[in-house]
Amino acid sequence: MDPDKYLKMLEKNVRYGEIRFMKFSVTSFVMKNGILSGIEKTEEEGVAVRALGKNFSFISTSKLDDENIKKTLEKAVKFAKSGEERNVDLSDEEIIKDHWQVDERKKIMEEPFENKISILKDLDGVLLRENVPMRLQSLREKIEDIEFYNTEGTEIKGHKPNIFYYYMIGVLEDGNFEQGSQEFGRSGGYEAFDEWNLENAISDESKKLKKIAKSRKSPEGKMDLVVGPEVSGIVAHESSGHPSESDRILGREAAQAGESFIKPNMIGERIGTEVVNVIDDPTVEHSFGYYKYDFEGVKAKKRYLYKNGKINEFLLNREFAGILGTKSNAAARSSWWDKEPIVRMSTTYIEPGSYTFDELIEDVKYGIFMNSFTEWNIDDIRFNEKYIGREAYIIENGEIKEPVKRPILEITTPGFYGSIDAVSKDLKFFAGTCGKGDPMQGVDVWMGGPYIRLRNIFLR
Amino acid sequence: MIDTDLIVKKALSMGADEVSAIYVESDIKQTRFSNSMQDIYLNYLDSALEIFISKNKKTISTSIKDYKNIDEKIKSLIKLTDQLPENNDFVGLNSKKQTYRDHVPDGTLENLDDLTYMTKRAIEGAQEKGAKRVAGTIYHVVENISISTNYNTAEDKNVSLFYSVRALNENGYSGQAAFHTSDHRLLDDFDPYNLGQEAGDFASLVGIPKEGVEGKFDVLFHPLCFGSLITYSVQMASAYFVDTGMSIFSDKLEKRIGSENFTLYDDPTLESGTGYRLFDDEGTSTRKVTLVENGIVKNILHNNSTASKYGTETTGNAGIISPQPWQPVMEKGRRSVDDIISEIKKGLYIVNTWYTRFQDYRNGDFSTIPRDGIFYIENGEIVESWKGIRISDNMIKIFSNINEVSNETMQVRWWDEVMPSIVPYVLVKDVNITRSK
């Protein structure tokens, strides 16, 4: 591929253009009830051209010969120059020339194939010993290589390997069913499994699900609530990260994932108590959604979405930064070589505070400790949301008591953040696949946070 | 163009026992629009060769886009099977010789690809009905697909057009409409302009919605909204998920999961829909499969291996690993929508929903968030619109409480929430509505 030649063609014909070459090498393994039922090895590569004339065009092709790439460029130019003038002014950004990569200690390409299969077999063995009848596991390794060039002179090469593991299990106790699932993801190599300690995690989950299956339904009424990092993470992602996406705020996602309760003029408005700080940070090392530069070639940085309880910063790409008269904060991502870059999260979390977990609990007279969640959803402006507890317990007179089944929190975003009175000093991250865009783009993310305490909220 | 027969022969000569080779070449055009303007024109030109190989009861699959050194790639894939454990779920590809239907793709539709013009028309349609802002997407897909296995060879071409329009009124509240077709003749009634009008009408009717209230309500589901519930449910009819035990169809064959009014098929033979499919991933000719008949589960979705495990025949729904639905079709009823609405004493009419999640896949406990038009009905008349509610219920209970089904169906498809489906309006009694407190 000769990027200079192609860039010259774009320079001559459009206001802005970028060429992105990407290669993905993905192997995935699926094990159902102990049988390795699916192994798929995928090698994909392709070129995507995005051009801005009167409007944006985005053309991708998997045929990488010179003739096809030229045709792709011609199409990109043709459609960028056609239609109504939208007067898009991209934000001005620094020209970058760099090469980055994520290191692997146990390299994906060097890890013996049989070891990868053994991971799933061994973990299935753990679940079998725990008498878990319904077991679904998957393991995916992905190596992503990117070359990015734009007509302003930015040239970036990146290399990112990552590992993803997922389980979903179901238990039946005295006819009562409970399900549990968890995603684990990390940029890097197979050293991820040294960190995750999955045998303990799934054994622990199995035992807890069985107890929960036999426990009583959670009580209904107003009470205090302490949520664990898994719950604070999903809340940060859904009701801080998503509504802070500038393309939602300015209506571009309206037809699909929706808009936002946050309007462009709401920077500085109160959304929660003083102790609420929510961050999105793509630069957390070895995070699942790590990147050094975004898909528009802008250097990644930490963003405070909510600060001291107030709306502080939006997630921006160059188009929406341009509209809002500011700089991009590097939130443009694509999930695959042939997908347009759109505004996305990376690692979204509630910033830790100063309390210990015990201090949060000991000051609760009566309430619920919801350590993890199962069903959840949120409306398309990210205002009304619901989280149902998976692992949950009664708190009474400052002590954690018996487990309870599926406590339900249905609350608004300001209702949630406005009820937080204390935040622990812990910080744990959980992996997820965030969906957005049309066609749907699932991107790797982390979400997380500390234990947090909410006062006097309605649960059922 | 890749010769899939040749790929199969090569793999067999290298030691594979069974091979499925599928080659797909696609040209997908798309526009996205919002704030009543086109945001971007997209064109995805792609081709892929998907190969499935079994050797000594071990199975592996791959997707290849770079066709250089293809022999080496197949050879290394076969070699990799040496390191695999046996896949005891796999019994073999369908070895029966298949007969395929004649299928002529719609040439007129293939040429209807001026998406920028269609976008303009969709926006104008919604604006004519009072929309302040209009958003949406339009897709035009041309796909050539060929398959070869040890036993069968087939090829097909599909052309499809699908689009959705969301209209927002001056208060920022929305209506939505979505449609899919592989038959240009349906565009007489459902072209983007008309769909824009439908979305615009809903947005106008929404006006400024009131905060909804909790309780049990009879709910009339628009086909788009019920199509979403059907989409989430029909995925669980795959024998793969039934087999995990975490599906509402687990242990339900010949048992009741719905009222007499609920009959559901998977029908990839219906040529007017974009879920049309001539053959599955094992080369089996597809057919109409009755999943639920008058509330009783009659079939789940099978490939050759899952069918063998369940002592039945494949339904033509491979996925070689996991069977999959192609195009859900719900049987229509006898009464008009207007008739059904006229008899609702106190109920809701819901246009669309999203974010459906299950706390219990086995028993069907779930919730979902209505959007794009929630109308409160009293004595057969829409009296106001609502916002801020959630359906928190059980899917089997919803199906069991289906009271009326309309005599008209719509071809609905929307984003990742509604797969290509043909669905009527559905009235369900006593749906549990909750909200944030």
Interface of A with B in 106-135 (CB under 8 A): 113-114, 117, 121, 133-135
Q: What's the pLDDT tens digit per position in A264-290?
A: 999 999 999 999 999 999 999 999 999
Distance CA A25, CA A206 (A): 33
ipTM field? 0.96
**Average pLDDT of the segment spanning A93-119:** 97
Mean per-residue pLDDT of chain B: 97
Residue A2: predicted pLDDT: 86
Q: What's the pLDDT tens digit per position in B296-345?
A: 999 999 999 999 999 999 999 999 999 999 999 999 999 999 999 999 99
Interface of A with B in 358-377 (CB under 8 A): 374-377
Task: Tell me whether residues A134 and B244 touch, CB distance under 8 A.
Answer: yes
Task: Tell me whether residues B87 and A36 touch, CB distance under 8 A.
Answer: yes
Task: Tell me whether residues B80 and A41 touch, CB distance under 8 A.
Answer: yes
Burial class (CB in 10 A: 0-12, 13-18, 19+), A197: exposed
| A199-203 long-range contacts, CB within 8 A, separation 24+ | A199/A122, A199/A123, A199/A126, A202/A123, A202/A126, A202/A127, A202/A130, A202/A167, A202/A169, A203/A126, A203/A129, A203/A130
Task: Tell me whether residues A179 and B246 touch, CB distance under 8 A.
Answer: yes
Distance CA B142, CA B144 (A): 7
Q: What's the pLDDT tens digit per position in A4-28?
A: 999 999 999 999 999 999 999 999 9
Interface of B with A in 131-160 (CB under 8 A): 133, 135-137
Tokens representing A300? 């990644």
B65 in reach of chain A (CB within 8 A): yes
* Rg of the Cα atoms in chain B: 23
If DSSP codes are grouped into helix, strand and coil, which group holds residue B49?
strand
A57 in reach of chain B (CB within 8 A): yes
Percent of chain B topping pLDDT 90: 98
Distance CA A234, CA A376 (A): 9
**Average pLDDT of the segment spanning B57-79:** 94
Residue A84: predicted pLDDT: 87
Task: Tell me whether residues A33 and B243 touch, CB distance under 8 A.
Answer: yes
A96 in reach of chain B (CB within 8 A): no
Residue the block writes with tokens 């939602």:
A248
Instruction: Name the residue in chain B with its Cα closest to that of A35.
Output: B87
Tokens representing A57? 């065009």
User: How far is A200 from chain B, CA to nearest CA, in Å?
Assistant: 23
Test mutation, B1, B24, B25, B34, chain A, max A CBs within 10 A: B34
Residue ranges covered by each domain of chain B = 4-204, 209-437
Query: Residue B137: its chain A contacts at CB < 8 A?
Result: 255-256, 438
Query: Residue B436: its chain A contacts at CB < 8 A?
Result: 384-386, 410-412, 415
Distance CA A199, CA A180 (A): 15
Q: Which of A114, A135, A410 sits opposite B436 (nearest CB)?
A: A410
Residue A1: predicted pLDDT: 74
What angle is formed at CA A109 by the lines to CA A167 and CA B17, rounded to 5 degrees? 75
How many CB atoms sit inside 10 A of residue A115's CB? 11
Distance CA B335, CA B333 (A): 6
Residue B1: predicted pLDDT: 82
Q: What's the pLDDT tens digit per position in B206-224?
A: 999 999 999 999 999 999 9
Class of domain B4-204: alpha beta
Query: Residue B238: its chain A contacts at CB < 8 A?
Result: none
Residue B58: predicted pLDDT: 96
Question: In which band, very low, low, confident or very high, does the pLDDT at A83 lie, cut at 50, 70 and 90?
Answer: confident
Q: Which of B35, B85, B166 sits opposite A36 (nearest CB)?
A: B85
What angle is formed at CA B31 by the lines to CA B29 and CA B34, rounded to 5 degrees? 165
Res. B103: pLDDT tops 90:
yes
Query: Residue A51: its chain B contacts at CB < 8 A?
Result: none
C-alpha atoms less than 13 angstroms from C-alpha of B307 in its C-beta half-sphere: 20
pTM of the complete model: 0.97
Q: What's the pLDDT tens digit per position in B340-389?
A: 999 999 999 999 999 999 999 999 999 999 999 999 999 999 999 999 99
User: How far is A285 from chain B, CA to nearest CA, in Å?
Assistant: 31
Q: What's the pLDDT tens digit per position in A158-167?
A: 999 999 999 9
If DSSP codes are grouped into helix, strand and coil, which group holds residue A415?
helix
Residue the block writes with tokens 């303990």:
A200
B243 in reach of chain A (CB within 8 A): yes
Res. B14: pLDDT tops 90:
yes
Tokens representing B220? 């009339």
Tokens representing A192? 């991820």
Q: What's the pLDDT tens digit per position in B233-280?
A: 999 999 999 999 999 999 999 999 999 999 999 999 999 999 999 999
Q: Which H or E run contains A431?
A: strand A428-436
Residue ranges covered by each domain of chain A = 3-214, 217-459
A220 in reach of chain B (CB within 8 A): no
Task: Tell me whether residues B363 and A379 touch, CB distance under 8 A.
Answer: no
Query: Residue B240: its chain A contacts at CB < 8 A?
Result: 32, 37
Test mutation, A57, A61, A256, A408, chain B, max B CBs within 10 A: A256
CATH of A3-214, one of 3.40.50.300, 3.30.2290.10, 1.20.200.10, 3.40.50.1780: 3.30.2290.10
Residue A261: predicted pLDDT: 98
